[in-house]
Amino acid sequence: MEGGDSFLSCAVTLEWMTQGSITRKVNYKTASLRLIRNEFREMFMEITSEKHAAIRFALKSVNVFKKFMVEGKASIKFQEAGCTLFISNAPPTNLVGFLRTIFVKMTGDKDQGSNTTPAKQTMRSKLLSNKAQAFEEISPVTVADIHNAKKKIPKSTLTTPSPPAKKRKNEDSVKGPAPKKLYSPSPLTNTCSLNPEQQRVLDACLGGKNIFFTGSAGTGKSFLLKRIVTALPPDVTVATASTGVAACHVGGTTLHAFAGIGDGSGTLEHLCERAMKLPLVAQKWRKCKHLIIDEISMVDGSFFEKLEAVARHVRKNDKPFGGIQLILCGDFLQLPPVVDKGKNGKRFCFQSPCWDKCIQLCFELKQVHRQKDSEFISILNSIRIGRVTKEISDRLVGTSRQKIESDGILATRLCSHTNDSKMINDSKLSDLDGEEKIFTSQDSDNATKLLDMQTIAPSKLLLKVGAQVMLLKNVNVNAGLVNGARGVVVRFEEGFPVVRFKNKKEYTARTERWYVKNSNGSLLCRRQVPLNLAWAFSIHKSQGLTLDCVEMSLSKIFEAGQAYVALSRAQSLDTLRVLDFDSRHVWADPNVLEFYQRFRRRLQQMEVIPLGRPLSDKTNKKLKLREILEKQMKQR
C-alpha cells in the first residue's frame, strides 16, 4: 500500500440520527477524507470541503458497509457519534485502498479501542499531559503493519455478538471493518503491478491530460485501461469501446450507445439536434468529465469528427470535445474501422483535423507480456508493419508441419470470415456421437440482443462429450484457467460440463456472470457457463484473446493488419500452425505507417527541456546535481 491510501476524494453525505430519526444531514458534492492521528496517537477520520469547517470522527466502534465498492460507494457508521458517512463517486481503486488502510491500522493498533484502560482514567491522563492539540497524517501501511493485522484478525471485532447473531451476520456489514474481506485480494487492486511505462500513462490520466496510448498486441493495453477506469470517479467517468466485446472487457458500453447519434450518418446539424432532443443522451454528455474509448483504431475518422462537434454543441463549450478529458487506446496497425463501400471520408481517427487538437500526450507501450519468446516477438513486430523477410517467411511456413494437438485437444482454426467459423463449429459438433446438452443464458429482461452484441458468451450453447471448447473468463490464473485456454469436454457432472485443458487440469464449468452497461448507464447481466465452441473462431472475435493451441489459413485475408492480429493471438511459435503462409497476405496500411512515424517523432519531442533541445548527458547530470543540492538545502 502507498501513503496515498490515507486520503480519498469523493462525494459525501453525513447523517446524524437519534432514536431512528435523522436529526441533521449534510451533503458535500466534493470532499476530502483524511486519516490522521492526534497528539495521543488516536486515529481519526477528517472530512473537509470548501467553505466548510473540518469535521473529525474518532475511529472507534465503526461499522463498514462495502457491498458497492466496485461502484465507488461505501458507508461508515460511527456509533459513538451517532453519525453515518455515505461515500459516493470515489475512484474504486482508491476506495478499496482507503478502507483497507483503516482496517490494517485499526486492527494493528494495540491501544485503539482497547477496554483495558477505564475511560475516566484515559481522559484524566490526557488532561494532565499538557500536550498541545496536534494532528498529523497517519504513516503509510508497512509490511510489518500487515503481518501484525493478520495475527489479530480473529480478535479484531470491536463488539462481540451472541453466537446466533454471528452465524446470521451479513457479510456485507461487518465490524471493525470486515477483516477478512478487506484483507483478501480485490480485483480492483490487482496484484499485478503496473510497469513504469504503464504507470506513466496512469499518472497522465490522473493529471487530467487528454491522452492516446498505443502498443503492439499483448503489451497490456486492456489491463492498463481497466486500472485507469477504477482510478477515476465513476459518476463522471464513461468507459466505452468501438466494439461490444471490447466494451464488456472494460465494464462499459459501446461508443455508439453512449453518443446517442446512431452510426453518425446525416448532417452535423441533424446529429446535434438529435442528441439535444434526447434528454438522457444530453444529460450523459453534460455529466461526463472523463471519456475513455478503447479500440479507438476501429472508430472511423468521420464519426470521430462528428462526435467531437456534438460534444461541443451539447455541452455549450468550445474546447475540444466540450472540455471532456479524453483517454484513447488502440493499435492502428491491427484491425481497421469497418467503412461502407463507396463511402467517402476519413477512414482513421488520426486523419481528422480535430485529432491533434484533442490529444495532448501520446504514449507507446513496448513491453510484450503475451509472448515470452524473443524470436516470436521479433517476427510479430515485423509482421505488424508489413515487413516479411525470407527468414520470417521460412520460419512461419515451417510451422505448417508442427503437431500442436495433445490429449484430444485440437487446434482452434482462426478464420477471416465469421460465417466460416460458425459453419466449422456446427459441422464438427454434429459429427460427434452422444447426447447434446443445451445451455441457455439467463439474461436481464429484454436484453438478450444487446448482450449478444456486447459479450463473448453465447445466449445458447450446444455441447457434447468430445466438444472442443475455449474458456471465456479468467477462472484461476495460477492454475492456467484463463480467458482463451483450450480444452475438451470429457463428461457432464450435476448438469455442468467438465473440461480437461491443455495443461491436463480438469474444471467443472459452472455459471459465471458478464456485465455490460446499456445506453442509460444501467447494468445488464448475462449468466452462462464460460465456454464456447472452439474448433474455429473468427479473427475479429479473437482480438484480445491469447490462444495456447491455434492454427490458421491466411489465404482469405482481406484487410491490412488482419494477418498480424491472427498471428499475435498465439502464445508462442510452438503453439502455432500456419497452413498456407504467403508474404502477399501480410501488409500494413501506408496511412497508418506514416501516422506512426509522426507519432514516434512526437514522442521524441516530448523528451525535451523547455528550450526545445534534447537532454544531453551533461544536462542530465546538471539537473540531477541540482535536485540533490535542493534536497540537501531542505534538510538543513
Kindly state whether residues 438 and 552 are assigned to the same domain. Answer: yes
Does the annotation flag 267 for ligand binding? Answer: no
The verdict on 201 and 181 lying in the same domain is: no
- 543-589: per-residue pLDDT in tens? 778 888 999 988 888 899 999 999 999 999 999 999 999 999 999 99
Cα 225 off chain centre by: 5
Say yes or no to pLDDT of 121 above 80. Answer: no
pLDDT of residue 607: 66
* Whether residues 465 and 605 fall in one domain: no
- Asked if residue 221 belongs to a known ligand binding site, the reply is yes
Judgement on whether residues 614 and 560 belong to the same structural domain of the protein: no
Residues 136 and 262 in one domain: no
Least confident of 111-125, 175-189, 207-221, 362-376: 175-189
- The helix (run of H) or strand (run of E) holding residue 374 is helix 374-384
pLDDT at 184 over 90: no
Instruction: Indicate if 594 and 580 belong to the same structural domain.
Output: no
Are residues 170 and 25 part of one domain?
A: yes
Task: Quote the DSSP letter at residue 400.
Answer: G
Q: Which residue has the cell 466548510?
A: 52
Q: Are residues 237 and 331 in the same domain?
A: yes
Residue 174 has pLDDT above 50, yes or no: no
Domain shared by 500 and 468, yes or no: yes
For range 148-153, the mean pLDDT? 73
> pLDDT tens across 99-112, in order?
999 988 888 775 44
Sign of the torsion formed by the C-alpha atoms of 326, 329, 334 and 335:
negative
Helical ranges in 6-91 per DSSP H: none
Same structural domain, 144 and 254: no
Q: Is the peptide bond before 177 cis (omega within 30 degrees of 0)?
A: yes
Which amino acid appears at position 152 of this protein? Answer: K
The pTM (predicted TM-score) of the whole model is 0.79
Poorest-pLDDT segment among 20-29, 142-151, 379-388, 392-401: 142-151
Residue 107 is predicted with a pLDDT of 83
Q: Report the domain count for the chain.
A: 4
Q: Please name the residue ranges forming H helices in 455-606.
A: 539-542, 562-567, 590-606
Among 452, 73, 77, smallest CA distance to 254 is for 452
Do 47 and 165 sit in the same domain of this protein? yes
Residues 562 and 420 in one domain: yes
pLDDT per position as a tens digit, 244-273: 888 888 888 889 989 999 888 889 999 999
Q: Tell me the three cell numbers of residue 384.
A: 505488424
The half-sphere exposure of 473 on its side-chain side, counting CA atoms within 13 A, is 19
456 confidence band (pLDDT: 50, 70, 90) = confident
61 labelled ligand-binding: no
Write out the residue range of the structural domain in which residue 93 sits: 3-188
Average pLDDT, the chain: 84
Is 217 annotated in some ligand binding site?
yes
What confidence tens digit (pLDDT) does each residue in 70-105 have? Answer: 889 999 999 989 999 999 999 998 999 999 999 888
Query: What cell numbers appear for 424 in the block?
Result: 466449422
3-state class (DSSP) for residue 492: strand
Cα→Cα distances 51→48, 186, 346, Å: 9, 36, 49
Q: Is 406 annotated as a binding residue?
A: no
Query: Residues 6 or more apart from 517 whose CB is under 8 A from it?
Result: 247, 251, 252, 253, 523, 524
Query: Is 216 labelled a binding residue?
Result: yes
- How far from chain centre, in Å, is Cα 615? 35
CATH of the domain at 122: 2.30.29.180
Between residues 311 and 144, the one the model is more confident about: 311
**Residue whose C-alpha cell reads 485437444 in the numeric block:** 409
Residues 6+ apart with CB under 8 A from 600: 364
User: Which of these three, 150, 166, 188, is where a domain ends?
Assistant: 188
Can you give the CATH number for the domain in which 230 is found? 3.40.50.300
